[in-house]
Structures are given as C-alpha cells and as structure tokens.
Amino acid sequence: MWRRGKNYALSIIGDLLVGATGWTDWNLVLDLHGGPNQFQYYVDSSIIANTTSGNVFHKNPMYYVMGHFSKFLPRDSIRVEMKLVKEEKMRYVGPLKIVSFKTPMNQMVIIALNQDTNHTQIVQVKDPNYGY
C-alpha cells in the first residue's frame, strides 16, 4: 500500500524538478469504487469516502505524502538547485530523489525520497554561502 505513496511522491518531486509551480491530483476524494467520474475510469485517491456507512473516510498513503509537501512548501517558495555528489567513503546503494526550496521566510527546505526500502541513506548538506 505504501508503494502508492512512494509513486505519488516520485510524481510530485519529478514535476517540481522540471518547473511545476503547483501540484494537485485529478480526484482528491473518491468513493469505495473509485468514482465517480465522467469517463467510468475508476481509480485510487488520497481519500476514499464510504458514504454507505455513515460518511466514513479513509486516508491512503498519498494523503500523507501530499500533506508532507503542503506542510513544508508554502506558497511562493522558490526551487533552488541541489546536486547529489557521492563521497568516496560513502556507499550509495539506491536511488535518492531530492528537491529543495527557499521559502518566503528565507528558510531552506529539502524533501528527500529514499526509494531503497532495504538501506538507509546518509545525506549531508554543504552550502558555502551559509557556512556549512
């Protein structure tokens, strides 16, 4: 189930890296059957509403992924370039996706997705402009 959340994060990061200024899903809430929609194409969503049993809703992993981006990237944040550099002494065992932003409050935000479910990744941020 969390694979869907990971794929959601990959889509968001990928779009942000190529210049997207916002991101939303086609359907934010669907029913238990993946609808309704005009094309009869039933899909998954970040929130599934069960209106047959007292208006209960279920939050899928994509809900939490969207919440993560929304919490840390306020409106008018500006993407800044970040390069991944492998240090000789560090082992790199899996794909790491990173996107970084400067917020309107002049804070740096880095969102990283480790796609390797078997190994942790060490991330060290170096920026001579800020002295670290």
**Residue 65, domain member (yes or no):** yes
* 34-53 pLDDT, tens digit each: 877 777 777 778 898 988 88
In a domain, 132, yes or no: no
Within-domain flag for 122 = no
Range of the domain at 15: 2-114
Q: Is residue 12 part of a domain?
A: yes
**Any domain includes 19:** yes
Total number of domains constituting the chain:
1
Establish if 124 belongs to a structural domain. no
Q: Does 120 map to a domain? A: no
Residue 59 placed within a domain: yes
**Of 7-16, 44-53, 105-114, which gets the smallest average pLDDT?**
44-53
Written in H, E and C, the secondary structure of 68-130 is: HHHHHCCCCCEEECCCCCCCCCCCCCCCEEEEEEECCCCCEEEEEEECCCCCCCCCCCCCCCC
Q: What is the pTM of this model?
A: 0.82
